[in-house]
Amino acid sequence: MSAVAHDPQSDATDATSSSTPVEEPEKRKRQYKDFGHDDEKATHAKVDMSTIELKAEDLYDKEKVDLETIVIDDVFKLLQCTEEGLNQEEAHRRLELFGPNKLESEEQNPFLQFLSFMWNPLSWVMEAAALVAIVLSNGQGKPPDWPDFVGIVLLLFINSAIGFYEERNAGNAVKALMDSLAPKAKVRRDGQWSEIESSILVPGDMVSFKIGDIVPADCRLTEAINVSIDQAALTGESLPQSKKTGDQCFSGSTCKQGEAEGVVISTGPNTFFGRAASLVGQDDDTTGHLQKILAQIGSFCLVTIGIFVIAEIFVLYAGFRYRYRDGLDNILVLLIGGIPIAMPTVLSVTLAVGAQQLAKYKAIVTRITAIEELAGVTILCSDKTGTLTTNKLTIDRNTIQTYGPFSAEDVILLAAYASRTENQDAIDTSVVQALGDTARARAGIKLLDFKPFNPVDKRTEITYREESTGKLKRVTKGMTGIIIELCSRNKTEELEERLEKDVEDFAIRGLRALAVAYEELDGDDHEVEGNGFELIGLLAIFDPPRDDTKQTIDDALALGVRVKMVTGDQLAIAKETGRRLGLGDHMYPAKVLKDGPAPGSKFNNLDEMIMDADGFAGVFPEHKYEIVKRLQGLGHLCAMTGDGANDAPALSRANVGIAVEGATDAARGAADIVLTEPGLSTIVHAIRQSRIIFQRMRNYSIYACAVTIRIVMCFSILSFVYKFNFPPFMILIIALLNDGTIMTLSVDRVLPSMTPDSWDLTEIFSYAVAYGVYLTASTIALVCIIIQTSFFQDKFGVSLDSAPPISHNDPQLHMIVYLQVAIISQALIFVTRSHGFFFMERPSTALMAAFCLAQLISSIIAAYGNMGFTKIKAISGGWIGIVWIWNIIWFIPLDWVKFGMKATVIKAIRKRRERIVQETAATGVPLTRTQSRAASIHESLYSNRVSFIKRAARKVGFGGKISMKPEELQRFSSIQAQRVGQTLARNPSRTGGATPV
């Protein structure tokens, strides 16, 4: 591999040191910037190595001991091992101490998982209503209310089945990370090399790997021959990193070149890879955004129902002296009709259909509630390597510098000559592909000698015969500082100054420099020295943005979503990428997340800096996690895109984790949405589609809350005024028909918002109260006219079986009320789904067809439904016509109710919100809404449904398959030093397989 890629430590300086001249008596040595991590000098463990007992408090202090950076001799002493490896007995002992070299996974009992979907307050009330119908409804010689019981239980099981199916199909991030580990490892045990399962590696083992192998555990290299390691999936670095003796290699990274031996310093959950896995799903709070909203909507409905149920108990039993069973039927009406029984089911179907629609845009949804959260995303945190960029090195043709008679095309061609055409590394591939036609890399020349890259020379070299002239020529390419020293023909002070300036300009822009030199040979001996190398050009290498990334970012900004780059690459590279994408170059190094803003900066705190930043560079998994967490703490819904295992913790923490095309299994497992098409344009389609889905759910939420108020208020008032005993089964029919129709909202025709959506529950509840009260008035007015007057009988010639005065509990009156409530309640959806007049926004064909079918069924039931057990009786066609006309008359003003609410109550609510936001912006203090204790408890019931079931399962013996997650690892640096050192200190070696300390 070319020098720039393979020795990032060499000639690396920081931005300040390179620009500061150093006064020396002799001519100063020029510094040619290259990118890579700065050299970390090996240190000694600051502990007493003469004793075998190591104190835990010493090992917790990274300044005293760190297995990643201390000298190799100290590593062997601390781990009590030698280069001969462990013996089998000692290895077995350590396996028991440290555990297997794999990540723990958590399994769930499917049956308990299914039951967990019935663990929330809405389901409890549904279950309570079922118990009331089957257990408490025994009395006065009447049988249990089987019809209501069966209907309620059926809805419960449908809801649980849908939720169970969705959750079981979701990916398991920890399992995906575990599967990414190398299955086999070459290890030295009892002085002999053998191949074993990587899961039984232990700290202190000697391992070996070569090109193409996956590093089986975190290790320190004891021998390295031309080693290059691809860590892109772990650290986000776009280039493979060269490694030398003493360097650390991460578990899960891939050896791209060379051979190496090393001593294992950490395994399983203590590796860099394992610590990333431990961050996935770290928080105990498993409540999604939608679950929290459902909890609050559920609370509103439950409080409303509770108020009227208590009122009925006092009025009917204490006031009217109702008999037990009659009063219970009235309470059942409120429970069955008031609870939005199918709310979770309706929203699940809406989301499921939305997921199918997103699949058309090549976006696979693994956590279905993420669709709703995507609609409200305000900040998109994007990884750079492989996400914003192609993760394929490219020659930037626009910045090629030439230093002689050769053109830019000549420089590329000669550099391609000096590159391998087979078994290429990343830089050779980029140079050869820059030709356009890769065959030109060997066309017209005869290869005589080729020297591949090696860490000492830091360059490649080709000697060839030009077929057209028969002349021998030689070309070399590699690290700038090495190449210029070879250029005896044209090296001058002026050329060196120009080259140094060009290299520094490249470095400032985040471009890696690759120098190219050329010489001719006299005679026919290709092994002799030439007439001197001549510097002919400087190539700039970078990881280019994807073709559609800039447009995607612009589209995201137009939708009100701000994009921030979060990358493991260097700051200069991040800034250059940001400039090319129009993202901005307000980038900061990851260390500011720990140190905070510099004294005297324009930022008062770290949160302000994070909000201002266009991105962060040099980040590790815990940094990405911290950025997302802080943005969420400021009230933002965050999406995170990524493609590597290093992105998994942040993908899991984000409200919406998005794994881009080509992502690793680990990233896909942690993500909520997986893209199967290259580029980020799919995300914009997904955001728009999610906002359409959000509008459908909002429309349903207003409708469901309004129907709750309408049912409980209407039938409570009727029972208070007229001792009206409506049959519960008819309310169940209304609920079933309504929910069947509302399911079609999942494909309704709506327009997406151009700004991030949010659940303004105050607005939703205000609309619901207004609609509910209005519809209640429509029913009570009809009942009053029928009972108190003979208006309809006189005007339309209709009659009821009982002569006036009409009995308050006439079976035909019940049927009239049933039909009136069924029609106008369902028609309300046409008002809640529209922003203007209902007829100005055409509904979907499915919704319209479902409404017509439901009302046809309702009318047929009204005409022919003589069901004795319901105390209800069919009515004539005249009464059916009267009810339809009555509902049309009352339906038309519903739009004016909506407009009136917008002009008064909703306008006042929004003004108050804007004032609070302005005050918050002025003070710089993030807005936090105080939550009542009751609401907090209610929300926790949703968040802890699974954990509660698990605890219960363990107590009754069902939880045998459920294992605990790895403990939460808050300290990210050198955790393996703590674990390994502490364990060995407590359990000193009892065998001869380790070196005594």
Provide the pLDDT for residue 572.
82
Segment 719-745 mean pLDDT = 85
If pLDDT is split at 50, 70 and 90, which confidence band does 505 have?
Answer: confident
> Above 60 in pLDDT, residue 610?
yes
pLDDT confidence band for 972 (50 / 70 / 90): very low
pLDDT at site 852: 95
pLDDT confidence tier of residue 740, bands split at 50, 70 and 90: confident
The count of other CB atoms within 10 Å of the CB of residue 662 is: 15
108 closest CA partner among 949, 941, 670: 949
Can you give the pLDDT at residue 379? 92
Tell me the mean pLDDT in the region 300-324. 88
Share of the chain above pLDDT 90, in %: 16
Give per-residue pLDDT as tens, 479-496.
888 888 888 888 888 888
Asked if 267 contacts 202 with a C-beta cutoff of 8 angstroms, the reply is: yes
- Supply the pLDDT for residue 772: 95
Q: What is the pLDDT of residue 23?
A: 44
Q: With cut-offs at 50, 70 and 90, classify the pLDDT of residue 532.
A: confident
Burial grade of 479 (CB within 10 A; 0-12, 13-18, 19 or more): buried
For the cut 60, the answer to whether the pLDDT of residue 34 exceeds it is no
**In the predicted structure, residue 281 carries a pLDDT above the cut 70:** no
Would you place residue 14 in the very low, low, confident or very high pLDDT band (cuts 50, 70, 90)?
very low
Confidence of residue 177 (pLDDT cuts 50, 70, 90): very low
Categorize the per-residue pLDDT at 100 as very low, low, confident or very high, splitting at 50, 70 and 90: confident
Residue 280's pLDDT is what?
Answer: 52
| pLDDT score at 944 | 45
* Active site residue ranges: 383
Greater model confidence, 885 or 192: 885
Question: CA torsion angle for 78, 84, 85, 86 (degrees, to 10)?
Answer: -90
What is the DSSP pairing of strand 379-383 with strand 241-243?
unpaired
The model's pLDDT over 757-798, given as tens digits with 9 standing for 90+, comes to 888 888 999 999 999 999 999 999 999 999 988 899 889 888
Q: What is the pLDDT of residue 765?
A: 92
Q: How far is CA 837 from CA 665, 833, 840, in A?
A: 49, 10, 5
How many other CB atoms are there within 10 angstroms of residue 840's CB atom? Answer: 9
Report the distance separating Cα 207 and Cα 261, nearest Å: 6
pLDDT for the residue 234:
63
pLDDT confidence bin for 926, thresholds 50/70/90: very low
- Does position 923 have pLDDT exceeding 60, yes or no? no
The pLDDT assigned to 53 comes to 36
- The predicted pLDDT at position 782 comes to 95
Tokens of 515: 């120098």
Confidence class for position 830, pLDDT limits 50, 70, 90: very high
Report the pLDDT averaged over residues 812-835: 93
Q: What is the mean pLDDT of residues 915-922?
A: 67
Tell me the C-alpha distance between 834 and 836, whole Å.
6
Q: Say if residue 919's pLDDT is above 90.
A: no
More confident residue, 950 or 300: 300
pLDDT of residue 996: 34
Question: Is the confidence at residue 878, as pLDDT, over 60?
Answer: yes
pLDDT in tens, 362-394: 777 777 778 888 888 999 988 787 778 877 788
Please compute the mean of the pLDDT values over residues 24-38 and round it to a whole number. 47
Query: What digits encode the pLDDT tens for the residues 110-155?
Result: 777 677 667 767 777 778 878 877 877 666 667 777 777 887 787 7
How many Å from the N-terminal Cα to the C-terminal Cα in the chain?
41
Count of C-beta atoms within a 10 Å radius of residue 95: 16
Residue 182 has pLDDT above 90, yes or no: no
Could you give the CA distance from residue 355 to residue 170 in angstroms, rounded to a whole number?
13
The residue ranking higher by pLDDT, 347 or 665, is 347
Lowest average pLDDT, out of 42-51, 503-512, 853-862, goes to 42-51
Q: What's the pLDDT score for residue 807?
A: 85
SS3 percent helix, strand, coil of the chain, rounded to 5, is 50, 15, 35
CB 80 within 8 A of CB 980: no
Q: How far does Cα 347 stand from its chain's mean position?
A: 21
Count of CB atoms within 10 A of residue 396's CB? 18
Q: For 417-429, what is the mean pLDDT?
A: 80
Instruction: Round the average pLDDT of the chain to a whole number and report it.
Output: 77
Picking from 88-92, 585-589, 926-930, which range would have the lowest pLDDT averaged per residue? 926-930
Calculate mean pLDDT across residues 343-365: 74
Residue 175 has pLDDT above 70, yes or no: no
> What pLDDT was estimated at residue 18?
37
| Residue with token string 């008359």 | 889
Which residue from 463, 464, 458 is spatially nearest to 483, judged by alpha carbons? 458
pLDDT at 938 over 70: no
- Least confident range from 242-246, 704-708, 885-889: namely 242-246
| Residue 394 in tokens | 């490219």
For the chain, which domains are there?
A: 114-170+289-352+688-747+759-905 (1.20.1110.10), 363-390+546-676 (3.40.50.1000), 394-542 (3.40.1110.10)
Q: What is the mean pLDDT of residues 667-685?
A: 77
Give the pLDDT score at 714. Answer: 95
- Between 149 and 169, whose confidence is greater? 149
Asked if 8 and 228 count as a contact pair (C-beta separation under 8 A), the reply is: no
Is the pLDDT higher at 571 or at 463?
A: 463
As a residue count, the chain comes to: 997
DSSP lists the bridge partners of residue 734 as none
Helical axes 845-864 vs 728-742, angle rounded to 10°: 160
The whole-number average pLDDT for the span 903-924 is 76
> Which has the minimum average pLDDT: 119-123, 553-557, 850-854?
119-123
Structure-token pair, residue 271: 């590796």
Cα-based distances in Å from 444 to 97, 214, 468, 470: 63, 39, 7, 10
Range scoring the smallest mean pLDDT among 269-283, 328-342, 369-383: 269-283
- Of 637-651, 729-743, 845-859, the range with the highest mean pLDDT is 845-859
Tell me the pLDDT band of 857, cut-offs 50, 70 and 90.
Answer: very high
DSSP characters over 488-532: TTT--HHHHHHHHHHHHHHHHTT-EEEEEEEEEE-SS-TTS--S-
pLDDT at 390: 77
- Using CA atoms, how far apart are residues 587 and 610, in angstroms rounded to an integer? 10
pLDDT at residue number 861? 93
Instruction: Determine the 3-state secondary structure of 731 from DSSP.
Output: helix
Q: Give the E-state strand segments of 621-726 in sequence order.
A: 638-642, 656-659, 673-675
pLDDT of res. 64: 56
